[in-house]
Structure 1
Amino acid sequence: MAEFLGVRNVKTQVLLIEDDISITELVRYNLEKADFTIETAKDGEEGLILATDQTPDVILLDWMLPNLSGLEICRRLRRNNKTANVPIIMLTARADEPDRVRGLETGADDYVTKPFSPKELIARIHAVLRRVRPALAAECLTFEDITLDNVAHRVTRGENPIHLGPTEYRLLRHFIENPGRVFSREQLLDSVWGHDIYVEARTVDVHIRRLRKAMNEYGDPDYIRTVRSAGYALDKKR
């Protein structure tokens, strides 16, 4: 059976906005070693563009940047609907309590003082993800009688194994991480297929049908709800 061949963890996407090349390379090396995907920007304007275009899972933001300060970038990110809920960790040499308070009040979720150890930074990233999106840290995700094992890449419903292809697996994981939320086809394409891959929006419908068929193979209730003119959601039947 090849239903899980080619399935891989969707890596956490980190955007680093930092003008110090040595720090950028240090962070890049250690995050990639820890199995993160990282994009970098050397100034605030570039960082804002990347954050809006790619909507990363976490933003690492230097306080002292040329032209546009980290605090101002943080304010703009929080005012933008696409990045309003993305966790932001400030990186700065400012260690005084008033500065830390300013950063947090501006909208940062955490604060790491330079110089910092890569291990501490990675731990802070994991911690902020657990707070903001608990499902990212979970080895097993559940919804009603559905269990998705992120380590073994297996899905079961009740006592029955569910055989999914790679795309259907990623779709189900995304739905379980966001139960009850309605996603448009375009949002699902961005989250499940990725920003850099061109796929017709109607392709989503094909994979939703495949996912439904696999999940309901044993006559169980259909938890995937179609919302006309809006998209799809994973919901308990009312």
Structure 2
Amino acid sequence: MSKKIIIACDNEHICDFIENYAEKEGFTVKTICDISEDTQHVVRECLILHPDIIILGGCYLDAEQECRHTSLMADIYTLKNDGGEHTLSLPLDIGQLSEVFDKCDGKLRGECDTLSIDNEHNCAKVGDKEYPLGLNELEILRSFIANPNRVFSKEQLAYEVFGPDAKGSDALVEESVSLLKSKLDGLSSKWSIRLIWGVGYKFEVNE
């Protein structure tokens, strides 16, 4: 599975440092370093690439909120020394990037506690037991695992999994989530798929 990252920062040396390491880790990289490009350019690139990771720094920090709205599946990090959960402190080092990329790899593999996705056999595994899933169910489960405790509206989940132009995607989401719940609910006390009435769906994970 391809991994994609967008780096938007007005510091060329930082962009080069992240880009070189990301390419070695197998990422497809889009770098935005031209200060003539505004934050909307970053948002447009996110809509085109659908990145797994977005790193924002310098004059592009203002793009954070819009990127969060348009790229629900992406891990978004900012380059600033405020000690926040999703910040990368400067000067940047390999150790920080390794943690970011390792976290991304785990999400793409689709793993949570004893639950994992077996892409080869189109099934979910809980411990050593297999639960066959349809392709739509697999993609929705992957989205859930990648975003623990995030509430998705039906429309948001349909957009991320099936794309903006898929016909009947809301109904597909509803049917697929229902099937997932029927197959996987009650298999663990650490996680569950919840219907949030009037809002959408949530993959609830207990720390």
Matched, 1:164 2:133: yes
1:148 is aligned, of 96, 116, 140, to: 116
Once the two structures are superposed, the pairs formed by residues 199-218 of structure 1 within 5 Å of their partners are 199=166, 200-215=169-184
- Structure (1 or 2) with the larger CA radius of gyration: 1
Secondary structure of the 2:133 match is: coil
Secondary structure of the 2:174 match is: helix
- The alpha-carbon deviation at position 15 of structure 1 amounts to 0.7
User: How many angstroms apart in 2 are the aligned matches of 1:178 and 1:234?
Assistant: 8
5+ unaligned residues in a row in structure 2: which ranges? none
Confirm or deny: 8 A CA contact 1:16 1:39 kept in the other structure: yes
Once the two structures are superposed, the pairs formed by residues 1-238 of structure 1 within 5 Å of their partners are 9=1, 11-17=2-8, 31-32=22-23, 34-43=25-34, 44-45=37-38, 46-51=41-46, 56-61=51-56, 70-74=57-61, 76-78=62-64, 80=66, 82=68, 86-89=76-79, 103-105=80-82, 108-111=87-90, 120=94, 124-128=96-100, 135-136=106-107, 140-142=111-113, 147-149=115-117, 155-157=124-126, 160-193=129-162, 198-199=165-166, 200-215=169-184, 223-235=192-204
- The alpha-carbon deviation at position 182 of structure 1 amounts to 2.0
Output the TM-score relative to the length of structure 1. 0.55
Secondary structure of the 2:152 match is: coil
Change (3 A) 1:26 1:110: closer
CA RMSD of aligned residues (A): 4.6
User: How many angstroms apart in 2 are the aligned matches of 1:139 and 1:48?
Assistant: 26
Task: State the percentage of identical aligned residues.
Answer: 22
Given residue 73 of structure 1, which amino acid in structure 2 is its aligned partner?
A: Y
User: How many angstroms apart in 1 are the aligned matches of 2:105 and 2:25?
Assistant: 19
Q: Which protein has the bigger strand share? A: 2
- The alpha-carbon deviation at position 148 of structure 1 amounts to 0.7
Output the TM-score relative to the length of structure 2. 0.62
